[in-house]
């Protein structure tokens, strides 16, 4: 009985791992029919090795291994090489193969000695052949380390040459040093997301169900990733978020380890040479080394990737995000000693029960808006003409302010409640101060592409620019935070049936 229960436990564990692997493969766009066949092979090999009799009276574990296990193993290797393998894995794979051959050789040698008193020539020959193969593979593993590293360095050198060329291209601006406060939207590339993740929060995209749907649903759209540069006359050069970095977009598999690669898509980020954060700053007349402070709305990698270019900057973020929200730590490697965690002890700020007057002069107020991440925060910048509220991912776009009609995917449970509460507080803040305009990190509407980029083209929108942004907001949203006709998002698949879809507002 105990033996049977043990086998059942092994079967359940193996099938759970296999199911997770199949989900990963679906994330990598492996066709469903292929996954069905491959899944049956996996299940059959596991069950057949535990209970060979399932395949007939004459069935043995060796036959199950030969006719089901070997195809399943080859399928696993083939699918791994097709959708997960990256050149930096080569030394590891060779080392594993070497260890397997050496282990097999040792087993063959011991088996030969047991069977014939140490004189089984066939087993001895097999052991030496396998041992020799293991040694060769081990040498190849060591040799490949330097080759792989050299290939990676050459690739990065090519990207750096392209970046330098983008910096030197005609049309760069000169920095204006007239003491005015300036804000510049910095488009640092794009990210590929499922439409439901972006707009489906009221259609079942919530919690675990939402995450599973992001893995298997291929109705995808392209949305921008924005950071914001603040040239402040008293506090220097500041950034709100940093966008993605070049390696995330062009060397995704090399930037992330194998586990992270399993849970993400190779083309999740797109970036031209001109969209590199350092290039964008240089083209505006600034140097990334001058940035003194980064206000990180949250720790997700599409907001923190550019930190690798800012090792000198103080990074201000909510401690809850640092303690509980970091999924991929690589972006933070160079700034770990420069983190600053606000206490949010400056008292209430409008509908917000707590806030942080960061510089003590009211110029920048940090507002906690947890939900999208444990310690998400918004940043309010006070200007002479009004104010700018940097939203991060509390709300993705201007239509998302109609939170009862348009909602992004939420984590579920208390986190969803907190995120909706944060949205209500933001509505209250915007309603109570007509001089404040929202700026978003991923807005894919005309508000960002036309109004915001026009108003902040030179960094100084003035009262008229802020007034025009508010007028556009009021043309999209009613005073009760409902969408006016013509502004409800709808997914439109790609015309060819492949590639990424788009969003229409009707």
Count of domains for the chain: 3
254, 247 Cβ separation under 8 angstroms: yes
Q: Are residues 80 and 123 in the same domain?
A: no
pLDDT in tens, 216-267: 788 999 999 999 999 999 999 999 999 999 989 988 888 887 777 877 778 8
Q: Is the pLDDT of residue 404 over 70?
A: yes
Query: What are the backbone dihedrals phi and psi of residue 183, each rounded to the nearest 5 degrees, phi first?
Result: -130, 130
Map residue 299 onto helix, strand or coil.
Answer: coil
Rounding to the nearest 10 degrees, give the CA dihedral for residues 381, 387, 392, 397.
Answer: -170
Q: Note the pTM of the prediction, 2 decimals.
A: 0.87
Listed range (50-64, 114-128, 371-385) with the worst mean pLDDT = 114-128
**Assigned token pair, 282:** 């240089």
180: number of Cβ within 10 Å: 14
Whole-number CA gyration radius for the chain: 28
| Structure-token match 């910096």, residue found | 167
Q: Are residues 238 and 349 in the same domain?
A: yes
Section 325-353 average pLDDT: 91
Residues in contact with 143: Cβ distance below 8 Å, sequence separation at least 6, in sequence order: none
420, 437 Cβ separation under 8 angstroms: no
pLDDT reported for residue 405: 97
pLDDT in tens, 114-163: 665 555 677 778 788 888 888 999 999 999 988 888 887 888 888 889 99
CATH number at residue 379: 3.60.15.10
Q: Are residues 129 and 66 in the same domain?
A: no
Asked which of 35, 60, 84 is the last residue of a domain, the reply is 84
pLDDT mean across residues, the chain: 90
Q: Are residues 29 and 93 in the same domain?
A: no
**Assigned token pair, 231:** 């040239």
pLDDT reported for residue 29: 78
pLDDT reported for residue 431: 97
Q: Are residues 196 and 145 in the same domain?
A: no
The better pLDDT of the pair 484, 330 is held by: 484
pLDDT in tens, 443-473: 999 999 999 999 999 999 999 999 999 999 9
Residue 3: domain span: 1-84
């Amino acid at each position: 009985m105990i033996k049977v229960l043990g086998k059942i436990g092994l079967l359940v564990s193996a099938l759970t791992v296999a199911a997770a692997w199949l989900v990963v493969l679906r994330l990598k766009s492996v066709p469903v029919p292929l996954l069905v066949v491959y899944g049956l092979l996996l299940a059959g090999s596991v069950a057949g090795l535990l209970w060979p009799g399932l395949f007939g009276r004459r069935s043995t574990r060796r036959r199950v291994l030969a006719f089901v296990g070997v195809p399943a193993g080859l399928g696993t290797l083939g699918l791994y090489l097709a959708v997960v393998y990256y050149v930096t894995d080569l030394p590891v794979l060779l080392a594993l193969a070497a260890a397997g051959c050496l282990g097999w050789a040792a087993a063959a040698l011991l088996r030969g000695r047991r069977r014939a008193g140490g004189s089984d020539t066939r087993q001895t020959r097999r052991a030496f052949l396998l041992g020799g193969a293991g040694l060769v593979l081990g040498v190849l593993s060591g040799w490949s380390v330097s080759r792989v590293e050299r290939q990676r360095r050459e690739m990065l050198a090519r990207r750096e040459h392209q970046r330098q060329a983008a910096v030197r291209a005609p049309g760069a601006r000169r920095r204006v040093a007239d003491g005015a406060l300036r804000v510049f939207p910095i488009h640092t590339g794009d990210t590929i997301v499922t439409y439901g993740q972006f707009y489906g929060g009221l259609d079942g995209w919530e919690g675990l169900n939402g995450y599973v749907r992001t893995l298997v649903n291929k109705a995808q759209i392209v949305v921008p990733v924005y950071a914001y540069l603040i040239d402040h006359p008293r506090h220097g050069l500041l950034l709100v978020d940093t966008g993605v970095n070049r390696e995330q977009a062009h060397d995704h598999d090399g930037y992330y380890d194998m586990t992270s690669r399993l849970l993400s898509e190779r083309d999740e980020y797109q970036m031209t040479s001109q969209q590199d954060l350092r290039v964008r700053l240089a083209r505006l007349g600034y140097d990334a080394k001058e940035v003194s402070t980064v206000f990180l709305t949250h720790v997700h990698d599409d907001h923190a990737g550019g930190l690798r270019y800012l090792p000198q900057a103080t990074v201000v973020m909510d401690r809850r995000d640092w303690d509980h929200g970091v999924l991929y730590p690589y972006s933070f490697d160079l700034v770990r000693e420069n983190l600053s965690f606000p206490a949010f002890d400056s008292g209430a700020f409008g509908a917000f029960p707590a806030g942080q007057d960061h510089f003590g002069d009211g110029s920048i107020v940090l507002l906690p808006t947890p939900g999208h991440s444990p310690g998400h925060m918004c940043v309010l910048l006070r200007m002479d003409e009004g104010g700018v509220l940097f939203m991060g991912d509390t709300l993705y776009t201007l239509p998302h302010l109609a939170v009862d009609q348009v909602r992004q995917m939420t984590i579920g449970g208390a986190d969803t409640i907190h995120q909706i509460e944060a949205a209500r507080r933001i509505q209250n803040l915007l309603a109570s101060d007509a001089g404040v305009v929202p700026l978003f990190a991923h807005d894919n509407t005309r508000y960002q592409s036309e109004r915001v980029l026009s108003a902040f083209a030179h960094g100084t929108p003035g009262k008229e620019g802020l007034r025009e942004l508010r007028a556009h907001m009021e043309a999209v949203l009613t005073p009760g935070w409902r969408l006016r006709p013509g502004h409800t998002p709808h997914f439109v698949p790609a015309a060819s049936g492949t590639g990424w879809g788009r969003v229409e507002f009707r």
